[in-house]
Each structure stands twice: as structure tokens, then as C-alpha cells.
Amino acid sequence: MTVDESASLYSNLLLKLNQESYCRLVLDLMRTRHNVVNIGGPCAFPNEFDAQTEAWTTREEFRMLDMIERYNLGDWEEVQKAVNPSRSPEEIQLHYENCYLNGRLGLEILGNVQYPKLTDHTSNIEVDETLSAEVKESLSKINPNELRLLAYMPDRDDYEKEYLNEAESIIANLIFVPDCSELDKEVILCAINMYIAQLRERCRAKSLSRDYDLVAQFFKDQKIAGNTNPWKYSPYDIRRMKEERELKESLKSFCQFLAAEDFVTLVKNLLRERAVKTRISDLQEYIKNGVTTLKGKKEFDYKGTPIRKRKWKRIRFSTKSKKLSRPWLECGHQQMHKLN
């Protein structure tokens, strides 16, 4: 290397060092006097920041837009992890709203957009969110502990395990795509109609349960049978109750078409019809055998067939059993007390 070349290289090096030192000096002066900060890249919105807030680089802007498109608008915590961990999710949300939605860019893009006017189809009638009187009346007959055993939620009027509990599985995996074929739309609508039909059946079953007090009746039947007094009813009453119970069992399938009061009235009328028909057949038999007086009726029953004798004794015992059962029970309790 010649002397001239080395002198030229040395002069260029000094010039470069002077330029770098000059730039550092200018940056220091700008930083101290004008609060200029080097953000490490170009800024897309330089007028949106001041000395208290840190400016956004274009790299952060592009990364924020990509993450919003990936995680959807509103998931700011995931966006914050990908953009810059030093920024808070609230800061990122505020920056997006001020610069893109409400800023110059948002006003230019969204300013001329005409949104369709939505018609309010709801009524102005105030809806009472409390339980209806029918539900409250049915719940008042049930012990709270029993409701807890059934996992009943009174504020929703729902049970943890409902009737047709798997009805929601029909529409659980349905996905509605706007550009699907007509056949797919028909299949989806059929599944929705099946789900609505099962919901109606569930509501109907729940209404029947409240109307007939099935929950209270269930826990009543679960009581210990030893608590009942066997001498409380006469044999005639026991037979009548058995006949009524059998009639109710045979007509149980018609409960869904009748209210509880109408069903009770129907059973009473049918029992009364049976009693009247039985009485008419007995009177016809008395007339056929020439019995026309009450005295003759008693003699005919006493001297009649073995079946009629048993029936006559049964009727006599039924009429006197209520009067005789109470003293007999009191006597039995007194004897047990003396033995103890």
C-alpha cells in the first residue's frame, strides 16, 4: 500500500468516525431537548403517541392484525403474548380501537357503510321471571329435603336429570353452514324439529307431574308401611279402596288427556255407577224371590245361599267394625301397659 492510499484510507476513517460521533451527538441532543426516542423501526401512527406512551412499530402492528385474525376480536390476552409481552391486553385493545376502529383508518373505511335497520319484534309486556302460582303450589306440598334428593333447581324449574334427558344430543353436533346444499338444510331442520318435539313432550310430562302431584305421591308411597293403622278402616272400606285403586290403575293411560280434578271425578262416577248397578241387580233378585219388605230381606239374606249369608255377615261387620275397633284397641293398649 502506498503512502497516498494509506493517507486516503485514514482520512475516510476519520470522516466516518466524525459522522458517527456527530449522529450520536445529534441523537443525544434530540433525546434530551425534544424527548425523541428510538423505537427500532418505522411507526405507522406517529401522531397517536406522546412522551408517556411507547410508540408502536410497524412490526408490532402487522403482528397484532395477524393475531386478531387468528384468535378473533376480543381475545386480547393471546394477542398480547404474540405481539409484545411488555404491553398489557388493555393497552393493545385501546390501541386497536383508537387507531383502527375510531381513528382515521376506521372512519375512512366504515364511515360510508350503511347498516340495515333492525326491527324490534319484542313486546313491551313485562315478563314475570318468578315461578308461577301452579309451580309454587306443587312445591309447597313437597319437603325441601325431598326436593334436594331429586336434584331439583327451583329457580329454573328443572331437574338435574330431566325426562328424555338425552334430547339435547340430537342437536349437539349440528353445524349450520350458509352455503350448504338444500338436502343438508332439510336434514338440519328435521333434527331441530325432533328436538323441539322432545322438549314439548318433556314440558307435558312435567305439567302432568305437577297436576297429579306425582312427586309428593311417590314419597308418600315410600313411607314405612308400619306407620299405618290396620284398624283405621273397615273391611268394606278396604275393599272399596282396593277397587278404586284397581280402577285408577286401569285408567292411568287416560290421565294425559284429563286434568287431575276431572280424573278424580271420573273415577268417583264410575265407582258410583258400579255401586248402582250392583244395587239394582240385588233388588231385581229380591223381587224375583218375592221379597218386598226390609224384614223379608233380612230373612232372605240369612236363610239364603252361602254366598248371600257371607255377604250379609260382611255388611253387618262393616257397619259395626268402626264402633268396635276403637274400644278394642284401647283395651289392647291398656293390657300392654299393664304388662310393661
Domain shared by 87 and 138, yes or no: no
Q: Nearest Cα to 153, choosing from 128, 131, 127, 133?
A: 131
Q: How far apart are CA 68 and CA 252, in angstroms?
A: 61
Domain shared by 168 and 71, yes or no: no
Q: How far apart are CA 53 and CA 91, in angstroms?
A: 10
Residue type, 18: N
Domain-located, residue 318: yes
Question: Greater confidence, 328 or 252?
Answer: 252
- Confidence at residue 226, expressed as pLDDT on a 0 to 100 scale: 45
Domain shared by 91 and 138, yes or no: no
- Confidence at residue 325, expressed as pLDDT on a 0 to 100 scale: 44
Residue type, 237: D
Q: How many helices (H) and strands (E) does the chain have?
A: 13, 2
Domain-located, residue 194: yes
Domain-located, residue 269: yes
Q: How far apart are CA 136 and CA 140, in angstroms?
A: 6
Q: How far apart are CA 158 and CA 283, in angstroms?
A: 55
Domain-located, residue 205: yes
Domain shared by 240 and 301, yes or no: yes
Domain boundary among 221, 250, 272: 221
Domain shared by 163 and 92, yes or no: no
Domain-located, residue 119: no
pLDDT tens, position by position, 151-173: 887 777 788 888 888 888 888 88
Domain boundary among 221, 250, 271: 221
Q: What are phi and psi of 297, to 5 degrees?
A: -65, -45
Domain shared by 88 and 171, yes or no: no
Domain-located, residue 304: yes
Domain shared by 251 and 318, yes or no: yes
Range of the domain at 173: 133-221
Domain-located, residue 191: yes
* CATH number (domain holding residue 48): 1.10.10.60
Per-residue confidence band for 273, with pLDDT thresholds at 50, 70 and 90: very high
Question: Is the pLDDT assigned to residue 209 strictly greater than 50?
Answer: yes
Question: Is the pLDDT assigned to residue 182 strictly greater than 60?
Answer: yes
Domain shared by 274 and 303, yes or no: yes
Q: How far apart are CA 118 and CA 191, in angstroms?
A: 29
Structurally, the chain folds into a number of domains equal to 3
Q: Residue 61 in contact with residue 41, Cβ under 8 Å?
A: no
Look up residue 218 and give its three cell numbers: 311417590
Residues in contact with 322: Cβ distance below 8 Å, sequence separation at least 6, in sequence order: 234
Mean pLDDT of 313-340: 47
Mean pLDDT of 172-195: 87
Per-residue confidence band for 331, with pLDDT thresholds at 50, 70 and 90: very low
Average pLDDT of the chain? 73
Domain shared by 185 and 142, yes or no: yes
Domain shared by 215 and 264, yes or no: no
Domain-located, residue 231: no
pLDDT tens, position by position, 33-67: 555 555 555 666 766 666 556 778 888 888 888 88
- Confidence at residue 49, expressed as pLDDT on a 0 to 100 scale: 63
Domain shared by 256 and 281, yes or no: yes
pLDDT tens, position by position, 96-151: 888 888 877 777 777 777 777 777 777 666 655 555 666 666 666 777 787 788 78
Q: Residue 173 in contact with residue 158, Cβ under 8 Å?
A: no
Domain shared by 148 and 198, yes or no: yes
Helix (H) or strand (E) holding 288: helix 260-288
